[in-house]
Each structure stands twice: as structure tokens, then as C-alpha cells.
Structure 1
Amino acid sequence: MDITQLILDEHAQQRALFAQIDSIDAKDTEALSALWTRLKNLLDAHAEAEERFFYPRLMKIGTGGNDAGSAAEETEDAIEDHNDIRDTGEAVDKHPVGSDAWFEAVGECNKANSDHLAEEERQGLTDFRKHATLEERHELGVRFAAFEANHLNGVTVVEKDPEAYVKQHAPG
């Protein structure tokens, strides 16, 4: 087990669920609601698991992957992205399922998530793979997977201050 692979696998699940929602007729509100609930819970639990297990360690061992200046920069941006994904996810629930406004809100959440996934895969995950041992990636993967298994119905959504998060998890 490897936390970086678990994260990548879940990114693929997120992309697939957005695509499934896009392919369902607007009149099938039962299916849309079920898939959205599953996706929203996955997005929230995934972000929280990363914030508990992945990013604190990245802050200690990372140096900045690819076009990121530092691990702190990667992390602060990721926390901002997670907040944006949470906000756009909450906005979906303010509209009737299957309505034009609902699909537009889902699209905004998809955009926020897609932008984040691309950055995280290019920066944070690359940085982590270069600096974490295989044993550490395994141990964090176990904790990450167990947390998510215990939170299949989502987590309590809490916005985080990106700068405060980075300060809290900065090495030394």
C-alpha cells in the first residue's frame, strides 16, 4: 500500500463520478442525487484524509515538486483548493437536483477539483514520492485508507485557514 497511489486512485474515482453525473438525464433525480452524495462524501473525506496524513508529512520532507517553490507553497495552495472544493460542493446542495443551476454548480465543483488534482499530481505527489521512504508511504497509506473507511458517509466540513495550517505543520 502506498499513500501516493491511494490518492491517485481516488482522483480517478472522482473524475469518473463527475463523468457519470454528466451522463445522467436531468430527470433522473434519484440517480443524480445518489451519485452526487457519493461524490461529495468522497471529496470531503479525501480532503480531510490528505490534510491529516499527507500534507503534514509533506511539509516536513518536501522541497517543492516541479513548478512549486516549496512544500509550504504546495500545501498552502492545496488547503486553499480544498476550501474551494468544499465551498463549490456546498453550493451544489443549494439547488434542486437535476436543475440547470444544479448542473452548473456541479460543473463549478468539477472545475475546482480538476484544477486541484492536476496541481497536486504534478507538485505534491511528485515531491512526496521523491522524499518519502516506501515504508513511510505504506504506513501513511494504511492510516489514510483506515480514516476514509471510517468516514464513508463523509466528514464534518470545516474550512481551514491555509496560512495557519502551514504554520502549524511547518518543520522545527
Structure 2
Amino acid sequence: MDITDVILHDHGEQRRMFALLDQMHDSSASDLEAVWSRLRILLEVHAKAEELLFYPELLSLGEGAGGKDSPEDETSDAIHDHNEIRDAIAAVGAHEAGSAQWWRAVAKVNEVNGDHMAEEEREGLSDFRRHASLDLRHAIGLGFCIFEAAHAGGITGRDLDPDSYVREHQ
């Protein structure tokens, strides 16, 4: 159980769920809401688990990767991205499932989440693989899976100040 693999697996599941929605344009509002609810929970719980378990360790061990000069830059950018994802998720809830506005809002979530995943995969995850021991990667991966299981029903996402987050976890 390696945290970098766990995060990559979650990213794959998020991409799969967005692809599923792409195939549901003729579906009922209740079906769309069911799939969206599951995806929303995946996104929110994943982000919170990263903030609690992954990024504090990256700040401690990382050196910067994938174009970022430091783990502080990687982490601050990731927390900012999480806020954008949360804000985009909230915008979906302002529209009736299946409406043109709803689809545009879902597309925005896909866009900001996709940008975040790509950055995280080439920056934070790469940095962590290079500098964290296998034992630590296993321990964090296990804790991450436990957190996700404990919060499978969802959480309330809250924006964080990226700079304050970095200061608090250094």
C-alpha cells in the first residue's frame, strides 16, 4: 500500500467517473445526481485526505519536482487547486441536474480537477517517490485508505488558505 499508488488509483477513479457522466447526457436527473453525488464525495474526501496525510509529509521530505522549486511551492499550489475544485463543486449544486448550466458546471469541475491531477502527478507524487521511504509511503497509504473508508458518506469541503496551510505544517 504505497500512498503514491493510492492517490494515482483515486485519480483514475475520478477520471472514470467523469467519463461515465460524459455518457449520461440522455439520463434522468436522478441518475445524474446519483453519479454526481458519488463523484463529489470522491473528490472532497480525496482532497481532505491529502491535506491531512500527504502534504504535511511532502513539506517535511520533499525537495521540489516537476517544475516546482520547493515542496512549499508544490503544496501551496495543491491547496489552491483544492480550493478551486471545492468552489467548482459548489457551483454544480446551484443548478438542476441535467440542465445546460449543470453540465457546464460539471465540465468546470473536470477541468480544474484534471489540471490539479496532472500537476500533482508530475510534481508532488514524483517528489515524494524520490524522498520518502517505502515504510512511510506504506503507512501514509494505509492511513489514507482508512480515512477514505471512514468518510465514504462524504464530508463538508472547506477552503483553506494555502500560505497558512504551509506555515502550519512546516
Match of 2:94 in 1: 94
Aligned-pair CA distance for 1:100: 0.3
Matched letter for residue 90 of structure 2: E
Match of 1:114 in 2: 114
1:163 and 2:163 matched: yes
Aligned-pair CA distance for 1:25: 2.6
How many residues are matched? 170
Q: Deviations over 1:27-58 (max 9, x none)?
A: 42121111100000000000000000000000
Q: Which runs of 5+ in 1 are unaligned?
A: none
Match of 2:31 in 1: 31
TM-score of the aligned structures, taking structure 2 as reference length: 0.98
Q: CA RMSD in A?
A: 0.7
In structure 2, distance between residues paired with 1:27 and 1:53: 37
Match of 1:74 in 2: 74
In structure 2, distance between residues paired with 1:167 and 1:25: 44
Runs of 4+ in 1 over 6 A off after TM superposition: none
Match of 2:83 in 1: 83
Matched letter for residue 10 of structure 1: D
Match of 2:13 in 1: 13
Q: Deviations over 1:65-115 (max 9, x none)?
A: 121110000000000000000000010010000000000000000000000
In terms of mean alpha carbon deviation, does 130-139 or 19-28 score higher? 19-28
In structure 2, distance between residues paired with 1:121 and 1:27: 33
Residues 1:58 and 1:29: Cα distance change in structure 2 (over 3 Å): same
Q: Give the SS at the match of 1:54.
A: helix
Match of 1:129 in 2: 129
1:57 and 2:51 matched: no
Could you tell me the percent identity over the aligned residues? 48
Aligned-pair CA distance for 1:26: 3.9
Match of 1:141 in 2: 141
1:45 and 2:45 matched: yes
Alpha carbons 1:26, 1:99 under 8 Å: kept: no
